[in-house]
């Protein structure tokens, strides 16, 4: 008989879902090539950053979806039925930081109080080098369904970053951070220094020079 015709669309393991209807990531217009015409691709559209954790302590996964520069991140709460609750005003702590591009995001307990705090790496190239928009952010879980911005916990580095990972680097029982530098705005392919931030119980101290 005739040979079989190969399928042009192989089967996949996943199917499209509208469970997160209402959450839409939108990049703002920005001309990356105006400053550097020879860029190989846009550096302003690397989002959204995503992080899964139990934000409200109910034992179910919740999802933080980072915002592009010019928009805010949102928190979507999961429940025992596998449903998702989205409200743009449910957690307003990060509404004041819409100038930042939310890239690397991580839930972790930085202060040892048993609930999940949120670290957000500020990346992109939309703002001038050294701008406040590049300051990484930490939001402390207040344990009552609210988060508070805690700038006193992080050094004021103002570098475009894109990744974060946590581990107890110094083995003192709390979580330290590795923050990965992404790019220097207007100076691609140069990248800022990646950082090792050590948790002393009340703040993170930059110990990159001593440790690396």
Check residue 20 and give its pLDDT. 66
Check residue 4 and give its pLDDT. 72
Domain ranges, ordered by start, for the chain? 44-211
HSE-up of 85 (CA within 13 Å, CB side)?
Answer: 12
Instruction: Tell me the three state secondary structure of residue 163.
Output: strand
Q: For residues 159 and 130, give the distance between their C-alpha atoms in angstroms, rounded to a whole number.
A: 7
Q: For residues 182 and 176, give the distance between their C-alpha atoms in angstroms, rounded to a whole number.
A: 20
For the chain, what's the residue count? 212
The highest-level CATH class for domain 44-211 is mainly beta
H helical segments located in the chain: 208-211
Instruction: Tell me the three state secondary structure of residue 152.
Output: helix
Tell me how crowded residue 27 is: count the other CB atoms within 10 A of its CB: 18
Q: For residues 85 and 128, give the distance between their C-alpha atoms in angstroms, rounded to a whole number.
A: 36
Written as tens digits, the pLDDT of the chain (212 aa) is 677 776 677 778 888 777 666 777 888 899 999 989 999 999 999 889 999 999 999 999 999 999 999 988 989 888 888 778 877 666 778 888 999 999 999 999 999 999 999 999 999 999 999 999 999 999 999 987 789 999 999 999 999 999 999 999 999 999 999 999 999 999 999 999 999 999 999 999 999 987 66
Handedness of CA 120, 123, 124, 125 (dihedral sign): positive
- Beta strand segments in the chain, E: 50-53, 62-65, 74-78, 84-86, 101-108, 117-123, 137-141, 147-149, 161-167, 176-181, 195-199, 204-206
Q: For residues 104 and 119, give the distance between their C-alpha atoms in angstroms, rounded to a whole number.
A: 8
Check residue 82 and give its pLDDT. 76
């Amino acid at each position: 008989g005739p040979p079989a015709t190969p399928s042009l669309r192989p089967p996949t393991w996943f199917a499209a879902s509208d469970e997160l209807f209402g959450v839409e990531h939108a990049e703002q217009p920005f001309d990356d090539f105006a400053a550097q015409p020879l860029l190989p691709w846009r550096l302003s559209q690397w989002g959204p950053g995503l992080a899964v954790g139990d934000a409200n302590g109910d034992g179910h996964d919740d999802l933080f979806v980072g915002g592009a520069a010019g928009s805010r991140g949102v928190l979507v709460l999961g429940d025992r039925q596998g449903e998702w609750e989205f409200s743009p005003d449910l957690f307003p702590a990060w509404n004041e930081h819409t100038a930042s591009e939310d890239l690397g995001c991580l839930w972790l307990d930085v202060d040892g109080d048993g609930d999940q705090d949120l670290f957000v790496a500020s990346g992109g190239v939309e703002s001038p080098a050294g701008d406040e928009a590049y300051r990484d952010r930490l939001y402390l879980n207040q344990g009552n369904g609210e988060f508070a911005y805690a700038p006193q916990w992080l050094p004021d580095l103002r570098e475009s970053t894109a990744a974060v990972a946590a581990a107890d680097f110094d083995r003192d029982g709390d979580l330290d951070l590795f923050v990965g530098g992404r790019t220097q705005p207007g100076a691609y392919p140069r990248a800022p220094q990646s950082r090792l931030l050590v948790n002393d119980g009340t703040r993170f101290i930059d110990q990159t020079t001593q440790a690396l």
